[in-house]
Chain A
Amino acid sequence: MTRVLELDGIHGGYGETEILHDINMHVDPGEIVVIVGPNGAGKSTAMKAVFGLLNIRKGAIRLQGADITNTPPQQVVREGVAFVPQSANVFVSLSVEENLEMGAYVSSADPGPRVEEIFQLFPPLREKRRQPTGSLSGGQRQMVAMGKALMLHPKILLLDEPTAGLSPKYRGEIFQIVRDINAAGATILMVEQNAKQALRIAHRGYVLVDGENRYTGTGAELIADDEVARMFLGGGRTT
Protein backbone atom coordinates (compact mmCIF):
# COMPACT_ATOMS: atom_id res chain seq x y z
CA MET A 1 0.00 0.00 0.00
CA THR A 2 1.68 3.19 -1.15
CA ARG A 3 1.53 6.06 1.23
CA VAL A 4 -0.55 8.91 -0.08
CA LEU A 5 1.87 11.53 1.14
CA GLU A 6 5.39 11.41 2.46
CA LEU A 7 7.59 14.18 3.79
CA ASP A 8 11.09 12.79 3.89
CA GLY A 9 13.79 14.72 5.75
CA ILE A 10 12.53 18.17 4.79
CA HIS A 11 14.70 21.21 5.39
CA GLY A 12 13.28 24.44 4.09
CA GLY A 13 11.86 27.90 4.62
CA TYR A 14 10.91 31.12 2.91
CA GLY A 15 13.76 32.52 0.89
CA GLU A 16 17.00 32.22 2.79
CA THR A 17 15.61 31.37 6.22
CA GLU A 18 15.21 27.80 7.37
CA ILE A 19 12.08 27.06 9.30
CA LEU A 20 11.74 23.29 8.98
CA HIS A 21 14.58 21.07 10.18
CA ASP A 22 14.46 17.45 9.14
CA ILE A 23 10.71 17.01 9.09
CA ASN A 24 9.42 13.48 8.54
CA MET A 25 5.78 12.64 8.15
CA HIS A 26 3.48 10.43 6.18
CA VAL A 27 -0.20 9.94 5.54
CA ASP A 28 -1.75 6.59 4.61
CA PRO A 29 -4.89 6.23 2.53
CA GLY A 30 -8.08 6.96 4.43
CA GLU A 31 -6.35 8.53 7.40
CA ILE A 32 -6.91 11.77 9.23
CA VAL A 33 -3.48 12.97 10.26
CA VAL A 34 -3.18 16.05 12.42
CA ILE A 35 -0.21 18.36 12.91
CA VAL A 36 -0.26 20.21 16.22
CA GLY A 37 2.21 22.28 18.14
CA PRO A 38 2.73 25.61 19.82
CA ASN A 39 2.60 28.88 17.90
CA GLY A 40 5.46 29.34 15.50
CA ALA A 41 6.23 25.63 15.47
CA GLY A 42 6.12 25.52 11.70
CA LYS A 43 2.88 23.57 11.37
CA SER A 44 1.42 25.65 8.56
CA THR A 45 4.85 25.86 7.01
CA ALA A 46 5.04 22.09 6.77
CA MET A 47 1.71 22.08 4.98
CA LYS A 48 2.78 24.83 2.61
CA ALA A 49 5.86 22.79 1.79
CA VAL A 50 3.64 20.09 0.34
CA PHE A 51 1.90 22.63 -1.82
CA GLY A 52 5.01 24.09 -3.37
CA LEU A 53 4.83 27.36 -1.47
CA LEU A 54 8.13 26.85 0.30
CA ASN A 55 11.76 26.78 -0.68
CA ILE A 56 12.74 23.19 0.11
CA ARG A 57 16.47 22.83 0.30
CA LYS A 58 16.84 19.26 1.37
CA GLY A 59 14.61 16.23 1.41
CA ALA A 60 11.74 15.06 -0.74
CA ILE A 61 7.97 15.16 -0.81
CA ARG A 62 6.22 12.26 -2.46
CA LEU A 63 2.62 11.93 -3.54
CA GLN A 64 1.74 8.26 -3.98
CA GLY A 65 5.39 7.62 -4.62
CA ALA A 66 5.88 10.38 -7.18
CA ASP A 67 8.23 13.21 -6.27
CA ILE A 68 6.49 16.58 -6.03
CA THR A 69 9.17 18.52 -4.19
CA ASN A 70 9.13 22.22 -5.08
CA THR A 71 6.43 21.71 -7.70
CA PRO A 72 4.47 24.93 -8.26
CA PRO A 73 0.98 25.05 -6.68
CA GLN A 74 -1.00 25.05 -9.92
CA GLN A 75 0.70 21.81 -10.88
CA VAL A 76 0.29 20.24 -7.47
CA VAL A 77 -3.46 20.78 -7.77
CA ARG A 78 -3.48 18.85 -11.00
CA GLU A 79 -1.66 16.00 -9.31
CA GLY A 80 -4.59 15.66 -6.94
CA VAL A 81 -3.68 17.66 -3.84
CA ALA A 82 -6.25 20.14 -2.58
CA PHE A 83 -5.31 22.88 -0.15
CA VAL A 84 -7.64 24.93 2.00
CA PRO A 85 -5.72 27.93 3.40
CA GLN A 86 -6.48 29.30 6.81
CA SER A 87 -7.94 32.60 5.65
CA ALA A 88 -9.12 34.14 2.39
CA ASN A 89 -10.00 30.66 1.25
CA VAL A 90 -13.07 31.51 -0.79
CA PHE A 91 -13.74 33.94 -3.60
CA VAL A 92 -15.96 36.36 -1.73
CA SER A 93 -17.46 38.05 -4.76
CA LEU A 94 -18.38 34.77 -6.45
CA SER A 95 -21.50 32.83 -5.54
CA VAL A 96 -21.30 29.60 -3.56
CA GLU A 97 -21.96 27.60 -6.69
CA GLU A 98 -19.32 29.51 -8.66
CA ASN A 99 -16.77 28.87 -5.93
CA LEU A 100 -17.43 25.18 -6.19
CA GLU A 101 -17.16 25.34 -9.96
CA MET A 102 -13.79 27.00 -9.65
CA GLY A 103 -12.70 24.11 -7.46
CA ALA A 104 -13.14 21.93 -10.53
CA TYR A 105 -11.26 24.30 -12.83
CA VAL A 106 -8.49 21.92 -13.85
CA SER A 107 -10.97 19.40 -15.12
CA SER A 108 -12.87 19.90 -18.36
CA ALA A 109 -15.81 17.77 -17.28
CA ASP A 110 -19.15 19.33 -16.37
CA PRO A 111 -18.95 20.23 -12.67
CA GLY A 112 -22.74 20.14 -12.23
CA PRO A 113 -23.24 16.63 -10.86
CA ARG A 114 -20.33 16.95 -8.45
CA VAL A 115 -21.69 20.29 -7.20
CA GLU A 116 -24.91 18.50 -6.26
CA GLU A 117 -22.92 15.87 -4.38
CA ILE A 118 -21.13 18.60 -2.44
CA PHE A 119 -24.48 20.10 -1.49
CA GLN A 120 -25.45 16.69 -0.13
CA LEU A 121 -22.34 16.81 2.03
CA PHE A 122 -23.07 20.37 3.16
CA PRO A 123 -26.85 20.78 3.03
CA PRO A 124 -27.00 24.37 4.41
CA LEU A 125 -25.16 25.55 1.32
CA ARG A 126 -27.76 24.42 -1.15
CA GLU A 127 -30.26 27.16 -0.47
CA LYS A 128 -27.47 29.75 -0.56
CA ARG A 129 -26.00 28.52 -3.81
CA ARG A 130 -26.45 31.79 -5.69
CA GLN A 131 -25.48 34.09 -2.85
CA PRO A 132 -22.11 35.83 -2.89
CA THR A 133 -19.91 33.87 -0.58
CA GLY A 134 -18.84 37.00 1.20
CA SER A 135 -22.31 37.30 2.70
CA LEU A 136 -22.13 33.91 4.44
CA SER A 137 -21.13 33.29 8.04
CA GLY A 138 -17.63 32.16 8.92
CA GLY A 139 -18.65 28.57 9.43
CA GLN A 140 -20.55 28.41 6.16
CA ARG A 141 -17.66 29.99 4.33
CA GLN A 142 -15.43 27.27 5.70
CA MET A 143 -17.85 24.72 4.31
CA VAL A 144 -17.62 26.36 0.90
CA ALA A 145 -13.84 26.33 1.12
CA MET A 146 -13.80 22.64 1.90
CA GLY A 147 -16.44 21.81 -0.65
CA LYS A 148 -14.45 23.63 -3.28
CA ALA A 149 -11.39 21.60 -2.39
CA LEU A 150 -13.30 18.35 -2.64
CA MET A 151 -14.71 18.96 -6.09
CA LEU A 152 -12.18 16.82 -7.90
CA HIS A 153 -11.93 13.92 -5.43
CA PRO A 154 -8.41 14.90 -4.32
CA LYS A 155 -6.00 12.21 -3.33
CA ILE A 156 -5.35 14.17 -0.20
CA LEU A 157 -6.96 17.20 1.37
CA LEU A 158 -4.78 19.68 3.23
CA LEU A 159 -6.60 21.79 5.80
CA ASP A 160 -4.77 24.71 7.44
CA GLU A 161 -6.39 25.46 10.80
CA PRO A 162 -9.99 24.98 9.63
CA THR A 163 -11.49 26.10 12.92
CA ALA A 164 -9.40 29.25 13.33
CA GLY A 165 -11.53 32.16 14.42
CA LEU A 166 -14.73 30.13 14.64
CA SER A 167 -17.09 30.08 17.57
CA PRO A 168 -17.21 26.85 19.61
CA LYS A 169 -20.49 25.82 18.00
CA TYR A 170 -19.01 25.99 14.52
CA ARG A 171 -15.79 24.40 15.64
CA GLY A 172 -17.59 21.26 16.62
CA GLU A 173 -19.48 21.29 13.35
CA ILE A 174 -16.31 21.58 11.33
CA PHE A 175 -14.66 18.69 13.12
CA GLN A 176 -17.74 16.63 12.50
CA ILE A 177 -17.62 17.57 8.83
CA VAL A 178 -13.98 16.54 8.65
CA ARG A 179 -14.99 13.19 10.11
CA ASP A 180 -17.81 12.86 7.59
CA ILE A 181 -15.61 13.70 4.64
CA ASN A 182 -13.11 11.16 5.83
CA ALA A 183 -15.82 8.57 6.19
CA ALA A 184 -16.81 9.29 2.61
CA GLY A 185 -13.29 8.35 1.57
CA ALA A 186 -11.11 11.46 1.74
CA THR A 187 -7.57 11.31 3.09
CA ILE A 188 -6.88 14.34 5.22
CA LEU A 189 -3.83 16.14 6.59
CA MET A 190 -4.84 18.87 8.98
CA VAL A 191 -3.00 21.55 10.92
CA GLU A 192 -4.83 22.59 14.06
CA GLN A 193 -4.48 24.93 16.97
CA ASN A 194 -7.29 23.25 18.89
CA ALA A 195 -5.07 20.27 19.51
CA LYS A 196 -7.26 18.27 21.85
CA GLN A 197 -10.38 18.36 19.70
CA ALA A 198 -8.35 17.70 16.59
CA LEU A 199 -6.48 14.73 18.03
CA ARG A 200 -9.75 13.19 19.11
CA ILE A 201 -10.85 12.74 15.53
CA ALA A 202 -7.39 11.94 14.20
CA HIS A 203 -5.96 8.56 13.38
CA ARG A 204 -2.46 9.81 13.99
CA GLY A 205 -0.77 13.02 14.92
CA TYR A 206 2.56 14.79 14.77
CA VAL A 207 3.65 17.30 17.35
CA LEU A 208 5.96 19.93 15.90
CA VAL A 209 8.05 22.24 18.03
CA ASP A 210 10.46 24.84 16.62
CA GLY A 211 10.30 23.34 13.16
CA GLU A 212 11.16 19.82 14.23
CA ASN A 213 9.31 16.57 14.90
CA ARG A 214 8.86 16.13 18.60
CA TYR A 215 6.25 13.47 19.17
CA THR A 216 4.18 11.17 17.08
CA GLY A 217 1.59 8.56 17.67
CA THR A 218 -2.09 7.82 17.31
CA GLY A 219 -4.55 10.47 18.30
CA ALA A 220 -5.41 8.65 21.46
CA GLU A 221 -1.78 8.09 22.43
CA LEU A 222 -0.96 11.75 22.09
CA ILE A 223 -3.93 12.87 24.10
CA ALA A 224 -2.95 10.51 26.87
CA ASP A 225 0.69 11.55 26.85
CA ASP A 226 1.67 13.64 29.88
CA GLU A 227 4.34 15.64 28.10
CA VAL A 228 2.06 16.61 25.28
CA ALA A 229 -0.76 17.38 27.65
CA ARG A 230 1.41 19.55 29.80
CA MET A 231 2.85 21.36 26.84
CA PHE A 232 -0.33 22.73 25.52
CA LEU A 233 -3.32 20.51 25.78
CA GLY A 234 -4.12 21.57 29.32
CA GLY A 235 -3.80 25.31 28.74
CA GLY A 236 -5.88 24.91 25.62
CA ARG A 237 -6.53 27.90 23.47
CA THR A 238 -8.15 31.12 24.45
CA THR A 239 -11.01 31.81 22.10
Chain B
Amino acid sequence: MMEFLNFYLVPGVVLGCIYALGAIGISLTFGILRFSNFAHGETMTLGVYFTLSLIHLTGLHPLAVMPISMALTAAAVLGMDRAFFKPFRNSPTIMLVIASFGLMLMIRSVIQFFWGVQLQALQTGIQRPWVLLESFRILPKHVLIIGATVVLMMAVHLLLTRTKIGKAMRATSDNPELAALTGIDTELVVKATWIMGASLAVAAGVFLALDTHVETMMGFKLLLPMFAAAILGGIGKPYGAVIGGLVIGIAEEISAYPWIGTEPLLPPGYKAGVAFAIMVAMLIWRPQGLLRGRQF
Protein backbone atom coordinates (compact mmCIF):
# COMPACT_ATOMS: atom_id res chain seq x y z
CA MET B 1 0.00 0.00 0.00
CA MET B 2 2.70 2.47 1.03
CA GLU B 3 4.72 1.41 -1.95
CA PHE B 4 1.79 2.24 -4.19
CA LEU B 5 1.39 5.62 -2.59
CA ASN B 6 5.04 6.57 -2.57
CA PHE B 7 6.20 5.24 -5.90
CA TYR B 8 3.15 5.38 -8.07
CA LEU B 9 0.44 7.67 -6.78
CA VAL B 10 2.58 10.61 -5.70
CA PRO B 11 4.69 10.63 -8.88
CA GLY B 12 1.40 10.41 -10.73
CA VAL B 13 0.10 13.50 -8.98
CA VAL B 14 3.35 15.33 -9.72
CA LEU B 15 3.18 14.37 -13.37
CA GLY B 16 -0.49 15.30 -13.34
CA CYS B 17 0.35 18.77 -12.08
CA ILE B 18 2.80 19.23 -14.92
CA TYR B 19 0.31 18.02 -17.50
CA ALA B 20 -2.40 20.21 -15.98
CA LEU B 21 -0.36 23.39 -16.19
CA GLY B 22 0.48 22.70 -19.80
CA ALA B 23 -3.04 21.67 -20.70
CA ILE B 24 -4.55 24.91 -19.37
CA GLY B 25 -2.63 26.81 -22.04
CA ILE B 26 -3.84 24.48 -24.76
CA SER B 27 -7.41 24.76 -23.56
CA LEU B 28 -7.28 28.55 -23.39
CA THR B 29 -5.72 28.83 -26.84
CA PHE B 30 -8.33 26.53 -28.27
CA GLY B 31 -11.21 28.34 -26.61
CA ILE B 32 -10.15 31.85 -27.51
CA LEU B 33 -8.06 31.48 -30.64
CA ARG B 34 -10.00 28.50 -31.90
CA PHE B 35 -7.14 26.23 -32.91
CA SER B 36 -4.92 23.48 -31.54
CA ASN B 37 -1.51 24.97 -31.01
CA PHE B 38 1.08 22.32 -31.82
CA ALA B 39 3.87 24.66 -30.84
CA HIS B 40 2.77 24.70 -27.22
CA GLY B 41 5.22 21.98 -26.23
CA GLU B 42 8.14 23.88 -27.71
CA THR B 43 7.02 26.99 -25.82
CA MET B 44 7.54 24.92 -22.71
CA THR B 45 10.98 23.79 -23.87
CA LEU B 46 11.99 27.34 -24.68
CA GLY B 47 11.02 28.49 -21.22
CA VAL B 48 13.09 25.73 -19.64
CA TYR B 49 16.17 26.65 -21.63
CA PHE B 50 15.76 30.32 -20.77
CA THR B 51 15.60 29.23 -17.15
CA LEU B 52 18.71 27.13 -17.57
CA SER B 53 20.70 30.02 -18.98
CA LEU B 54 19.43 32.39 -16.31
CA ILE B 55 20.52 29.94 -13.63
CA HIS B 56 23.99 29.76 -15.20
CA LEU B 57 24.06 33.52 -15.30
CA THR B 58 22.85 34.27 -11.80
CA GLY B 59 23.32 31.11 -9.78
CA LEU B 60 19.86 31.51 -8.32
CA HIS B 61 17.26 28.84 -7.62
CA PRO B 62 15.13 27.82 -10.63
CA LEU B 63 11.95 29.17 -9.07
CA ALA B 64 13.62 32.50 -8.45
CA VAL B 65 14.46 33.03 -12.10
CA MET B 66 11.26 31.46 -13.40
CA PRO B 67 9.31 34.75 -13.50
CA ILE B 68 11.98 36.20 -15.76
CA SER B 69 11.95 33.23 -18.10
CA MET B 70 8.15 33.44 -18.12
CA ALA B 71 8.42 37.05 -19.24
CA LEU B 72 11.00 36.21 -21.90
CA THR B 73 8.99 33.29 -23.22
CA ALA B 74 5.78 35.31 -23.24
CA ALA B 75 7.51 38.00 -25.24
CA ALA B 76 8.78 35.41 -27.70
CA VAL B 77 5.31 33.90 -28.05
CA LEU B 78 3.73 37.30 -28.65
CA GLY B 79 6.27 37.88 -31.38
CA MET B 80 5.49 34.54 -32.96
CA ASP B 81 1.78 35.27 -32.83
CA ARG B 82 2.35 38.52 -34.64
CA ALA B 83 4.54 36.97 -37.31
CA PHE B 84 2.90 33.62 -37.92
CA PHE B 85 -0.61 33.46 -36.46
CA LYS B 86 -2.05 36.92 -36.78
CA PRO B 87 -2.16 36.81 -40.60
CA PHE B 88 -4.57 33.90 -40.27
CA ARG B 89 -6.98 35.34 -37.72
CA ASN B 90 -9.85 35.22 -40.16
CA SER B 91 -8.71 32.23 -42.19
CA PRO B 92 -9.80 28.62 -41.89
CA THR B 93 -8.46 26.95 -38.75
CA ILE B 94 -6.33 24.53 -40.70
CA MET B 95 -3.96 27.32 -41.72
CA LEU B 96 -3.25 28.04 -38.07
CA VAL B 97 -2.73 24.36 -37.36
CA ILE B 98 -0.24 24.00 -40.20
CA ALA B 99 1.52 27.21 -39.18
CA SER B 100 1.81 25.96 -35.60
CA PHE B 101 3.16 22.66 -36.87
CA GLY B 102 5.86 24.54 -38.72
CA LEU B 103 6.50 26.77 -35.75
CA MET B 104 6.97 23.70 -33.57
CA LEU B 105 9.90 22.58 -35.67
CA MET B 106 11.29 26.05 -36.02
CA ILE B 107 11.37 26.69 -32.27
CA ARG B 108 12.90 23.31 -31.57
CA SER B 109 15.63 23.84 -34.14
CA VAL B 110 16.45 27.28 -32.72
CA ILE B 111 16.78 25.76 -29.26
CA GLN B 112 18.94 22.96 -30.58
CA PHE B 113 21.07 25.44 -32.48
CA PHE B 114 21.79 27.67 -29.54
CA TRP B 115 21.85 25.22 -26.68
CA GLY B 116 22.82 21.90 -28.25
CA VAL B 117 21.12 18.59 -27.69
CA GLN B 118 22.85 17.05 -24.75
CA LEU B 119 20.93 16.37 -21.57
CA GLN B 120 21.37 18.94 -18.85
CA ALA B 121 20.16 19.41 -15.32
CA LEU B 122 18.52 22.39 -13.70
CA GLN B 123 19.74 21.51 -10.28
CA THR B 124 22.54 19.31 -9.17
CA GLY B 125 22.73 17.20 -6.09
CA ILE B 126 20.76 14.32 -4.74
CA GLN B 127 17.66 14.98 -2.74
CA ARG B 128 16.71 12.94 0.25
CA PRO B 129 13.05 12.23 0.74
CA TRP B 130 11.14 13.63 3.65
CA VAL B 131 9.68 10.89 5.79
CA LEU B 132 6.28 11.51 7.33
CA LEU B 133 4.26 9.21 9.54
CA GLU B 134 7.14 6.74 9.39
CA SER B 135 6.35 5.32 5.97
CA PHE B 136 5.15 8.12 3.73
CA ARG B 137 8.06 9.34 1.71
CA ILE B 138 8.11 12.32 -0.57
CA LEU B 139 10.92 14.16 -2.23
CA PRO B 140 11.18 17.85 -1.37
CA LYS B 141 11.12 18.77 -5.02
CA HIS B 142 7.83 16.95 -5.41
CA VAL B 143 6.40 18.93 -2.53
CA LEU B 144 7.65 22.04 -4.29
CA ILE B 145 6.09 21.10 -7.59
CA ILE B 146 2.72 20.22 -6.14
CA GLY B 147 2.70 23.28 -3.91
CA ALA B 148 3.73 25.64 -6.67
CA THR B 149 1.12 24.17 -8.98
CA VAL B 150 -1.60 24.80 -6.43
CA VAL B 151 -0.45 28.38 -6.08
CA LEU B 152 -0.38 28.90 -9.83
CA MET B 153 -3.82 27.43 -10.28
CA MET B 154 -5.22 29.69 -7.62
CA ALA B 155 -3.62 32.60 -9.40
CA VAL B 156 -5.23 31.52 -12.66
CA HIS B 157 -8.58 31.16 -10.97
CA LEU B 158 -8.36 34.62 -9.42
CA LEU B 159 -7.27 36.13 -12.68
CA LEU B 160 -10.11 34.56 -14.61
CA THR B 161 -12.81 35.39 -12.08
CA ARG B 162 -11.75 38.63 -10.45
CA THR B 163 -10.07 40.70 -13.12
CA LYS B 164 -11.66 42.50 -16.01
CA ILE B 165 -9.32 40.96 -18.57
CA GLY B 166 -9.92 37.50 -17.12
CA LYS B 167 -13.67 37.88 -17.46
CA ALA B 168 -13.16 39.21 -20.95
CA MET B 169 -11.12 36.10 -21.74
CA ARG B 170 -13.91 33.85 -20.50
CA ALA B 171 -16.44 35.90 -22.42
CA THR B 172 -14.43 35.66 -25.64
CA SER B 173 -13.99 31.94 -25.18
CA ASP B 174 -17.72 31.62 -24.65
CA ASN B 175 -18.80 33.63 -27.69
CA PRO B 176 -16.22 35.56 -29.70
CA GLU B 177 -18.76 37.24 -31.98
CA LEU B 178 -20.75 38.58 -29.04
CA ALA B 179 -17.51 39.66 -27.39
CA ALA B 180 -16.71 41.81 -30.40
CA LEU B 181 -20.25 43.21 -30.42
CA THR B 182 -19.93 44.07 -26.76
CA GLY B 183 -16.87 46.13 -27.49
CA ILE B 184 -14.36 43.75 -25.91
CA ASP B 185 -10.87 44.34 -27.26
CA THR B 186 -10.30 40.90 -28.77
CA GLU B 187 -6.67 41.55 -29.69
CA LEU B 188 -5.93 42.37 -26.06
CA VAL B 189 -7.69 39.17 -25.01
CA VAL B 190 -5.58 37.25 -27.51
CA LYS B 191 -2.38 38.72 -26.09
CA ALA B 192 -3.47 37.94 -22.53
CA THR B 193 -4.22 34.37 -23.57
CA TRP B 194 -0.78 33.89 -25.04
CA ILE B 195 0.90 35.39 -21.99
CA MET B 196 -1.05 33.24 -19.58
CA GLY B 197 -0.63 30.07 -21.61
CA ALA B 198 3.08 30.62 -22.13
CA SER B 199 3.74 31.39 -18.47
CA LEU B 200 1.97 28.25 -17.33
CA ALA B 201 3.81 26.23 -19.96
CA VAL B 202 7.12 27.55 -18.67
CA ALA B 203 6.15 26.51 -15.16
CA ALA B 204 5.18 23.06 -16.37
CA GLY B 205 8.48 22.72 -18.19
CA VAL B 206 10.57 23.88 -15.27
CA PHE B 207 8.78 21.47 -12.95
CA LEU B 208 9.35 18.63 -15.39
CA ALA B 209 13.00 19.57 -15.67
CA LEU B 210 13.30 19.65 -11.90
CA ASP B 211 11.78 16.21 -11.77
CA THR B 212 13.79 14.74 -14.61
CA HIS B 213 16.23 16.69 -16.75
CA VAL B 214 16.50 19.27 -19.48
CA GLU B 215 16.41 18.09 -23.08
CA THR B 216 15.31 19.51 -26.39
CA MET B 217 12.56 16.97 -27.02
CA MET B 218 10.85 17.44 -23.67
CA GLY B 219 8.13 19.71 -24.94
CA PHE B 220 7.23 17.47 -27.84
CA LYS B 221 7.07 14.46 -25.56
CA LEU B 222 4.52 16.30 -23.45
CA LEU B 223 2.40 17.43 -26.36
CA LEU B 224 0.29 14.32 -26.63
CA PRO B 225 -0.51 14.02 -22.90
CA MET B 226 -1.28 17.74 -22.69
CA PHE B 227 -3.68 17.56 -25.58
CA ALA B 228 -5.20 14.42 -24.11
CA ALA B 229 -5.68 16.23 -20.80
CA ALA B 230 -7.27 19.22 -22.44
CA ILE B 231 -9.62 17.03 -24.46
CA LEU B 232 -10.44 14.86 -21.45
CA GLY B 233 -11.38 17.87 -19.38
CA GLY B 234 -13.33 19.51 -22.11
CA ILE B 235 -11.43 21.63 -24.56
CA GLY B 236 -11.87 25.32 -23.94
CA LYS B 237 -12.41 24.76 -20.22
CA PRO B 238 -9.27 25.51 -18.22
CA TYR B 239 -10.61 23.89 -15.05
CA GLY B 240 -11.30 20.75 -17.03
CA ALA B 241 -7.73 20.77 -18.21
CA VAL B 242 -6.60 20.58 -14.60
CA ILE B 243 -8.77 17.55 -13.91
CA GLY B 244 -7.70 16.00 -17.18
CA GLY B 245 -4.05 16.54 -16.41
CA LEU B 246 -4.28 14.91 -13.02
CA VAL B 247 -6.23 11.94 -14.33
CA ILE B 248 -3.77 11.28 -17.10
CA GLY B 249 -0.70 11.81 -14.96
CA ILE B 250 -1.92 9.41 -12.33
CA ALA B 251 -3.13 6.91 -14.92
CA GLU B 252 0.25 6.89 -16.61
CA GLU B 253 2.16 6.28 -13.44
CA ILE B 254 -0.12 3.66 -11.96
CA SER B 255 -0.23 1.78 -15.24
CA ALA B 256 3.24 0.55 -14.37
CA TYR B 257 2.07 -0.88 -11.06
CA PRO B 258 1.93 -4.64 -10.86
CA TRP B 259 -1.83 -4.78 -10.48
CA ILE B 260 -1.94 -8.37 -11.63
CA GLY B 261 0.93 -10.58 -10.63
CA THR B 262 4.44 -9.20 -10.47
CA GLU B 263 4.86 -7.58 -13.86
CA PRO B 264 3.80 -4.00 -14.50
CA LEU B 265 0.36 -3.87 -15.99
CA LEU B 266 1.72 -1.95 -18.91
CA PRO B 267 5.35 -2.17 -19.99
CA PRO B 268 6.89 1.16 -18.99
CA GLY B 269 8.05 1.70 -22.55
CA TYR B 270 4.45 2.22 -23.54
CA LYS B 271 3.50 4.81 -20.96
CA ALA B 272 2.88 7.33 -23.69
CA GLY B 273 0.17 5.06 -24.95
CA VAL B 274 -1.94 5.64 -21.85
CA ALA B 275 -2.57 9.28 -22.63
CA PHE B 276 -3.21 8.45 -26.22
CA ALA B 277 -5.68 5.70 -25.41
CA ILE B 278 -7.60 7.96 -23.04
CA MET B 279 -7.69 10.69 -25.65
CA VAL B 280 -8.99 8.46 -28.40
CA ALA B 281 -11.55 6.97 -26.05
CA MET B 282 -12.79 10.46 -25.15
CA LEU B 283 -12.95 11.58 -28.74
CA ILE B 284 -15.12 8.65 -29.62
CA TRP B 285 -17.25 8.35 -26.54
CA ARG B 286 -17.63 11.92 -25.28
CA PRO B 287 -15.83 14.46 -27.43
CA GLN B 288 -16.93 17.42 -25.39
CA GLY B 289 -14.97 16.06 -22.45
CA LEU B 290 -15.86 15.77 -18.79
CA LEU B 291 -16.82 19.39 -18.28
CA ARG B 292 -18.59 19.76 -21.58
CA GLY B 293 -16.21 22.00 -23.41
CA ARG B 294 -16.52 23.06 -26.96
CA GLN B 295 -17.42 20.39 -29.37
CA PHE B 296 -16.47 20.19 -33.01
Residues of A within 8 A of B (CB): 51, 73-74, 77-78, 83, 85, 88-94, 98, 101-103, 105-106, 148
B171 at the interface (CB under 8 A from A): yes
- Shortest beta-carbon distance from B58 to chain A in Å: 38
Minimum CB–CB distance from A62 to chain B (whole Å) comes to 20
Please indicate the chain B residues that have their CB under 8 angstroms from the CB of A74 in the complex. Answer: 180, 183-186
Q: Would you list which residues of chain B between 177 and 227 have a CB under 8 Å from chain A?
A: 177-186
- When chains A and B are docked, how far (Å) is the Cα of A98 from the Cα of B184? 13
| B178 pairs with A78, CB closer than 8 A | no
- A88 CB contacts on chain B under 8 angstroms: 175, 177-178
The B interface is mostly helix, strand or loop, or mixed, namely: helix
CA distance A101 to B168 in the complex (A): 10
* One of A78, A93, A98 near B183 (C-beta < 8 A): A78
Once bound together, how far apart are the Cα atoms of A74 and B185, in whole Å?
Answer: 7
* Partner among A51, A89, A101 whose Cβ is within 8 Å of the Cβ of B178: A89
CB neighbours of A73 from chain B (8 A):
180-181, 183
Q: How far apart sit A94 and B180, CA to CA, in the bound complex (Å)?
A: 16
Residues on the A chain within 8 Å of B185, using CB: 74, 105
Q: Is B81's CB within 8 Å of the partner chain A? A: no
Rounded to whole angstroms, the CA-CA distance of A101 and B170 in the bound complex is 13
**A77 to B185, alpha carbons, bound, how many Å?**
11
* Chain B contacts to A: CB under 8 angstroms: 164, 167-168, 170-171, 173-175, 177-186
Task: Give the distance to chain B from A147, nearest Cβ to Cβ, in Å.
Answer: 12
Shortest CB-to-CB span from A50 to chain B, Å, is 12
Chain A nearest CB from B288 CB (Å) reads: 13
Minimal beta-carbon separation of B54 from chain A (angstroms)? 36
A231 to nearest B CB, angstroms?
31
B180 touches A91 (CB 8 A): no
Apart from A74-B180, A101-B164, 6 more pairs, CB < 8 Å: A74-B184, A88-B178, A91-B178, A93-B170, A105-B182, A148-B182
Contact check, B184 vs A85: say whether CB atoms are below 8 A apart. Answer: no
Q: List 5 A-B contacts (CB under 8 A).
A: A74-B180, A74-B184, A89-B178, A91-B170, A92-B174
Task: Decide if B181 touches A102 in the complex (CB within 8 Å).
Answer: no
Chain A residues in 8 Å Cβ range of B178: 85, 88-91
User: In the complex, which of the residues B164, B174, B183 contacts A91, with contact meaning CB atoms closer than 8 Å?
Assistant: B174
Instruction: Tell me if B181 and A105 are in contact (CB < 8 A).
Output: no
Q: CA separation between A78 and B180, bound complex, in Å?
A: 11
Task: Return A16 CB to nearest CB of chain B, in Å.
Answer: 17
- A51 and B181 CA atoms in complex are apart in Å by 8
Interface centre among B167, B174, B183 (most CB of A within 10 A): B183
B contact residues around A102 at 8 Å (CB): 167-168, 171, 179, 182, 184
Q: Which residue of B lies closest to A84 (CB)?
A: B181
Interface pair A85/B174, CB less than 8 Å apart: no
Q: Can you name the residue of chain B whose Cβ is closest to the Cβ of A87? A: B178
* Complex-state Cα separation, A179 to B137, whole angstroms: 69
| B183: chain A residues within 8 A (beta carbon) | 73-74, 77-78, 105-106
Residues of B within 8 A of A83 (CB): 181
State the CA gap A92–B164 with chains docked (Å).
17
How distant is the Cα of A129 from the Cα of B158 in the complex, in angstroms?
A: 19
Q: How far is the CA of A213 from the CA of B184 in the complex (A)?
A: 34
Q: Look across to chain A and name the residue whose beta carbon is closest to the beta carbon of B161.
A: A98
List A contacts of B181 (CB < 8 A). Answer: 51, 73, 77, 83, 85
Q: Which residues of B contact A85 (CB under 8 A)?
A: 178, 181
Tell me the smallest distance from the CB of A146 to a CB of chain B, in Å. Answer: 13
Contacts of B186 in A (CB 8 A): 74
Please indicate which of the listed interface residues B170, B174, B178, B185 has the most CB atoms of chain A within 10 Å of its own CB: B178
Cα A74 to Cα B176 with chains together (Å) = 12
Residue numbers in B under 8 Å from A93 (CB-CB): 170, 173-174
